[in-house]
Amino acid sequence: MQTVSVAVIPGDGIGIETVQAARRLLDRLAELDGGIKFAYTEFPWGCAYYTQHGEMAPKDFLSTLRSFETIMLGAVGYPGVPDHVSLWGLLLPIRRGFEQYVNMRPVRILRGVTSPLRGRNPGDVNFVVIRENTEGEYSSMGGRLHTGFPHEVVVQNTVFTRLGTERVIRYAYRLAAKAPRKRLCGATKSNGINWAMPFWDEVFNQIGETEFPEVERWLTHIDALAANFVLKPDVYDVVVASNLFGDILTDLGGAVMGSIGMAPSANINPERKYPSMFEPVHGSAPDIAGKGIANPVGQIWSSSMMLDHLGRQDLGEAVMTAVEDVLEEGRVRTPDLGGRSTTNEMVDAIIARLEA
Ligand code: GGG
């Protein structure tokens, strides 16, 4: 029996509901399989914790999480707590502290879902965005001078290290080399960002030329790439992007898929020195929080990626087949997909497919 220790951080808003939903599904899956068990420890960290304690989590939260095999996160951020406080108080230190430098974010139109893109059907769009996850535009370096005066100055630095740039680009090439068409697109903006992005492009081309000559590679400016996600998303296998560009592109990816509520992500430490973390792309959605109508698919798909990471690709695949079967049948859908079902009804339907 494989017992997996899971640190669970539901976080804020709908994160609490989607994590609960994914846990219920994982537990039933484990019962059906008989070979795996999840030992959860839940941590009530996030914006509610902040309003009581003045911090998003206890000071030693990284050393607490370090002992777990894997981390499941819902969403962070809620009105009343400034967004930069909620992100830098919990989510971003986990990504950085545990060297989760790969943020893998699949973009795929699932069976049964109508993409808002005219003429794009399930199967037409199926690629992965690899987002750099520990540096770049999310540097936390900068400063503010002469606050409140007309000559106020604010500076935010962007940091691209050779180590950080090479490792994420190399990871993306490895993935592209295994893809059927062996294609890798790099997101750039070297015409405007004239130090960091030419460096990014140089590393992208160097690694491609010397280590992965079999991979077809090209660079596209981020503005054109955003347009291409809508106009010709079927040309991509793997896209590699800096932290901010990858974040923006993958919200767009969620929209292309039919709902950001379905977009998954895996924050991976490829060396497995530290735990990896699995969270949906969506945020805490205060407008629907507490109503029980959040789409659980983003969290469930992220859990399927967790199963892949734990070496149980068979279970990860079974989960996604069940999700797609339910979507294709079309009877049970949350409001973001045009239905009237609740989060729990959706999970019940997915579990019923797993049991069938
Ligand atoms: N599910 C994760 C979450 O709450 N994300 C909110 C967010 O704003 N994330 C920013 C980021 O991924 O960099």
Residue 29 is part of a domain; what is its CATH number?
3.40.718.10
Q: Looking at ligand 1, which atom is closest to the CA of residue 76?
A: 4
Task: State the pLDDT at residue 31.
Answer: 97
Based on the domain organization, do 238 and 307 belong to the same domain?
no
Tell which atom from ligand 1 comes closest to the C-alpha of 280.
1
Residues 19 and 82 in one domain: yes
Q: Which is more confidently placed, 219 or 121?
A: 219
- Same-domain pairing of 221 and 194: yes
Ligand 1 atom nearest to CA at 12: 4
Within this chain, do residues 186 and 243 fall inside the same structural domain, yes or no? yes
Q: What is the pTM of this model?
A: 0.96
d(CA 182, CA 194): 29
Domain assignment present for 95: yes
Average pLDDT of every residue of the chain: 97
Q: What is the ipTM of this complex?
A: 0.92
| pLDDT at residue 13, rounded to an integer | 97
* The two three-digit tokens of residue 156, written as one number: 């935010």
Give pLDDT tens digits for 230-256: 999 999 999 999 999 999 999 999 999
In this structure, the dihedral spanned by the alpha carbons of residues 304, 256, 8 and 313, taken in order and rounded to 10 degrees, is 10
Distance 75 CA to ligand 1 centre (A): 7
Q: Which of 76, 82, 36, 61 is nearest to 279 (CA)?
A: 76
Task: Give the C-alpha distances (Å, rounded to integers) separating 158 from 139, 155, 200, 215.
Answer: 6, 10, 12, 29
Q: What is the CA radius of gyration of the chain?
A: 20
pLDDT > 90? residue 122: no
Give residue 308's pLDDT band: very low, low, confident or very high (50, 70, 90): very high
Of the residues 257, 292, 323, which one is the last residue of a structural domain? 257
Q: Do 50 and 68 belong to one domain?
A: yes
Domain assignment of residue 109, yes or no: no
Angstrom CA distances, 58 to 44, 53, 93, 315, stand at 10, 9, 13, 34
Mean pLDDT (whole number) for 77-82: 92
The parent domain of residue 11 ranges over 1-100+266-356
Residue 268 CB neighbours (<10 A): 23
**Residue 86 CA, ligand 1 centroid: distance in Å:** 10
* d(CA 314, ligand 1 centre) in Å: 28
Please give the pLDDT value at position 120. Answer: 87
- Does the beta carbon of 46 sit less than 6 angstroms from any atom of ligand 1? no
In angstroms, the CA 336 to CA 333 distance is: 8
Q: Quick check: 118 pLDDT over 90?
A: no
**In a domain? residue 110:** no
119: pLDDT confidence band, cut at 50, 70 and 90? confident
Q: Which of 211, 226, 257 corresponds to the end of one domain?
A: 257
At CA 42, angle to CA 41 and CA 45, rounded to 5? Answer: 140
Identify the domain boundary among 257, 275, 308: 257
Nearest to 245 by CA among 176, 160, 181, 311: 160
User: By alpha-carbon position, which residue is closest to atom 2 of ligand 1?
Assistant: 75
Q: Report yes or no on 313 lying in a domain.
A: yes
Sign of the four-CA dihedral 246, 251, 255, 257: positive
Same domain membership, residue 204 and residue 87: no
Nearest to 137 by CA among 172, 87, 184, 176: 87
Question: Total domain count for the chain?
Answer: 2
Which pLDDT score is estimated for 65?
A: 98
Q: Is the pLDDT of residue 121 over 90?
A: no
Average pLDDT over residues 352-356: 96
So what's the pLDDT on residue 17?
A: 97
